[in-house]
Amino acid sequence: MIYSVRGKLILTTASSAVVECGGVGYNCQTTVNTLKTLKLNTEVMLYTYLNVREDAVELFGFATKTELETFKTLIGVSGVGPKAGLAILSELTPEQIAMAIATDDIKTITRAQGIGKKIAQRIILELKDKLAKSVDSDNLAAGSAVGAANASTGNIPKAIEALGVLGYAPSDVSQILAALDSSLPVEQLIAQTLKQMGRQ
């Protein structure tokens, strides 16, 4: 598996970036949000996902680990392929996706090109189920410390739920969130937590 590519950005298209590493140009399909952070003829690094199918081998590249992990989470939903994953991440940030799933906001997810109501409902349903199972098992394992974090005031519980959508257990994030101002907007709490965890 190719974890990342680092090199000179030699070409961009509307949906891809070509990074030259050791004389080889790697064509990485990517999101609009990642493309906005890249500049031609400069050194860049993309976190990658290699998708192998019977008829194709595709490389996907992302500016942050969080974007990569969100992409992998999305394509883990039945009926959601890499193209749909890129479309959603081109329209929304990982934080916005997590919030939309945590709050059953179908409308926000359908803003992405080619994503209809049925796919948006499936994403929310499957990822909320996955989140609920991980939170239950994590609460049993971590005991009262996590329970206390979940019972926090302000936007902390919402942030914990949204971070769960991105794959973080409550025990992983509750200590960081406890040190933040609970009155901050949920998206800001998520962004600050991810930053402290070194995932952006």
Q: Indicate if 24 and 81 belong to the same structural domain.
A: no
HEC states along the chain? CCCEEEEEEEEECCCEEEEEECCEEEEEECCHHHHHHCCCCCEEEEEEEEEECCCCEEEEEECCHHHHHHHHHHHCCCCCCHHHHHHHHHHCCHHHHHHHHHCCCHHHHCCCCCCCHHHHHHHHHHHHHHHHHHHHHHHHHHCHHHHHHHCCCCCHHHHHHHHHHCCCCHHHHHHHHHCCCCCCCHHHHHHHHHHHCCCC
Summarised one tens digit per residue, pLDDT across range 64-90 is 998 999 999 999 999 999 999 999 999
Q: Which of 63, 82, 108 is a domain's end point?
A: 63
Mean pLDDT of the chain: 85
Q: Are residues 81 and 46 in the same domain?
A: no
pTM exceeding the 0.95 threshold for the entire prediction: no
**Pair 78, 135 in one domain:** yes
**141 and 59 share a domain?**
no
- Quick check: is 100 in a domain? yes
Domains: count for the chain:
2
pLDDT at 149: 44
User: Would 136 be classed as within a structural domain?
Assistant: yes
Are residues 83 and 52 both part of a single domain? no
Residue 199: per-residue pLDDT: 54
Residue 200 forms part of a structural domain: no
